Amino acid sequence: MAIFQGKPNLGVMVSNYIPAAGEVPSLHFDKNGYYETKNPFMIKRLRRKFKEVAAREPQGLNAPTPPATGLTCKKCGASGFANNGFLLAHTRKFHPKVEVK
């Protein structure tokens, strides 16, 4: 399995590619600009032209990428808070208590 990073919705034709049954000799990067393949031929060809990435990066987050482990916010599901302090800071920032008077 390999994941390549290109441009969102970028279509790529791979010459001399003999597709397996049910496959087409073209590919499209998804809307986030990623393309995933298990096909060794494609991996070899794509490595010449595109950047291979280890994993998908989360989209739509301006915050630094949190690690996969850690505490999880119960309100929105954001995860990767190293300790309660970070989780509390997140809660204060994104889920402020509404005061009803």
Residue 89 binds to Zn ion (criterion: CB under 5 A) = no
Question: What residue spans of the chain are helical by DSSP H?
Answer: 40-49, 84-94
Residue 61 binds to Zn ion (criterion: CB under 5 A) = no
Strand partners, 2: 37
- What is the closest distance, in whole angstroms, from the C-beta atom of residue 47 to Zn ion in the complex? 38
Residue 14 binds to Zn ion (criterion: CB under 5 A) = no
User: Which is it for the CA torsion 8, 9, 14, 18, positive or negative?
Assistant: positive
Mask: binding to Zn ion, 18-57, rule CB under 5 A, as x and -?
A: ----------------------------------------
